């Protein structure tokens, strides 16, 4: 049994519909990784002050009421986001048959690595889903290039090693085993083997991306970049909702799909901790949700959006995101989809148990 699997042995019981979400701030500011501004303050540090022209540049100074992120510069935070975009962009690029990202899109500082183990999905007659996959792949690559473009050329991190393989010890298999999709230590999960498996792989990544960007919103000082970051989050949310809708619909014919999403949600909850509930900010100890239908006095309804009773979706801090992509509930610097860790300063997950 791998270290990642050992850390994932005790899932929190999934609920059909959580009434609230995760605390982005609880315990995170003390680690110096909570301020997932992702990109805003990187621009604020590296571009001139806004002018009255129609296309203002981001301001170099935060709001007087703002507090700098302890231990992290804005460049550090932007690079943290870039690690996550490298992961997603490679997954979709492989799936549509384009292979790994080009060298010009992944060069930079830090320990460079390859995205290995991916391959094309055979979409067959599922031409509509194939078209969706191509759109998501294009958007993901554009986001990689956009984030790289916000950094000084000497500060852009290289892509780290990324595990997209399908062996029994691969990141996908470890995650699937924890979610109850596969059972034995010799079993493996192949997200490229079918359209349904591909959608499960996409579900694993996209919901995490939305929560990471949502967590950035309260801490971005520069309004010009806040709008850009909100746009990236919205793109991820559109993608995530499309994937969740497809899984809900296809789950009516393939009975395993909806329980698989519930298992993945429970696994992510078990990894990223249990902060105190805050309904207004969208916070709860168990916030993640699959796509199982919800029974109400007015009848059954779908669960496309993982929102709370106020209709608010939740946030994750960088440490929580790293717990998930490292597939480890402990404070570690590598594992899971990043076997050698991420590049940049923000690279340690939190002890979330």
Report the mean per-residue pLDDT for the chain: 82
- In a domain? residue 294: yes
* 14 lies in some domain: no
- What residues make up the domain containing 192? 70-326
Mean pLDDT along residues 253-257? 96
Total domain count, the chain = 1
Model pLDDT, residue 225: 67
Give the model confidence (pLDDT) of 288-300 as tens digits. Answer: 999 999 998 989 9
Residue 70 has pLDDT above 80, yes or no: no
Question: Would you say residue 50 lies in a domain?
Answer: no
Residue 188 lies in a domain: yes
Q: Is residue 19 part of a domain?
A: no
**Is the residue at 16 inside a domain?**
no
What own/partner pairs with CB < 8 Å and gap ≥ 24 does 70-73 have?
Answer: 70/29, 70/32, 71/32, 71/33, 71/345, 72/32, 72/33, 72/35, 72/345, 72/346, 73/41, 73/42, 73/45, 73/345
Q: Do the domain assignments include residue 124?
A: yes
Give the pLDDT band of residue 133 (cuts 50, 70, 90): very high
Task: Give the number of other Cβ atoms within 10 Å of residue 114's Cβ.
Answer: 15
Is the predicted pLDDT of residue 124 greater than 90, yes or no?
Answer: yes
Domain presence at residue 176: yes
Residue 17 near residue 294 (C-beta atoms within 8 A):
yes
CA distance 21 to 215: 12
Quick one: how far is CA 58 from the chain centroid?
26
Name residue, tokens 């996409």. Answer: 202
* Range of weakest confidence among 74-78, 231-235, 321-325, 339-343: 74-78
pLDDT for position 87: 98
| pLDDT given for residue 78 in this prediction | 80
Rounded mean pLDDT of 164-190?
97
How many beta carbons lie within 10 A of that of residue 15, not counting itself? Answer: 18
Which tens digits make up the pLDDT trace of 277-288? 888 877 777 789
């Amino acid at each position: 049994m791998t270290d990642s699997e050992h850390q994932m042995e005790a899932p929190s019981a999934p609920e059909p519909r959580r009434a609230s979400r995760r605390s982005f701030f609880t315990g995170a500011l003390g680690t110096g990784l909570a301020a997932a501004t992702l990109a805003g303050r990187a621009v604020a540090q590296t571009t001139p002050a806004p002018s009255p022209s129609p296309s203002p540049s981001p301001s170099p100074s935060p709001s007087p009421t703002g507090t700098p992120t302890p231990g992290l510069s804005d460049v550090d935070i932007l690079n943290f986001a870039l690690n996550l975009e490298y992961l997603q962009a490679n997954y979709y690029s492989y799936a549509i048959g384009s292979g790994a990202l080009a060298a010009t899109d992944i060069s930079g500082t830090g320990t460079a690595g390859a995205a290995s183990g991916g391959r094309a999905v055979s979409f067959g007659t599922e031409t509509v889903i194939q078209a969706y996959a191509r759109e998501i792949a294009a958007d993901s690559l554009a986001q990689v290039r956009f984030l790289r473009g916000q950094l000084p050329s000497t500060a852009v991190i290289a892509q780290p090693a990324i595990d997209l393989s399908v062996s029994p010890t691969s990141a996908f298999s470890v995650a699937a085993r924890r979610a109850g999709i596969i059972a034995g230590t010799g079993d493996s999960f192949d997200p490229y083997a079918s359209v349904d498996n591909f959608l499960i792989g996409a579900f694993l990544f996209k919901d995490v991306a939305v929560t990471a960007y949502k967590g950035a919103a309260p801490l971005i000082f520069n309004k010009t970049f806040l709008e850009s970051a909100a746009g990236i989050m919205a793109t991820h949310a559109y993608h995530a909702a499309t994937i969740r809708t497809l899984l809900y619909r296809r789950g009516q014919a393939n009975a395993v799909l909806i329980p698989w999403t519930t298992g993945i949600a429970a696994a992510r909850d078990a990894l990223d901790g249990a902060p105190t509930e805050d309904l207004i900010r969208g916070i709860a100890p168990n916030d993640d949700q699959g796509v199982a239908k919800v029974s109400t006095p007015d009848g059954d309804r779908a669960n496309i959006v993982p929102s709370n009773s106020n209709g608010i979706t939740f946030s994750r801090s960088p440490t929580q995101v790293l717990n998930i992509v490292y597939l480890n509930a402990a404070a570690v610097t590598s594992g899971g989809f990043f076997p050698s860790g991420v590049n940049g300063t923000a690279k340690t997950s939190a002890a979330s148990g």
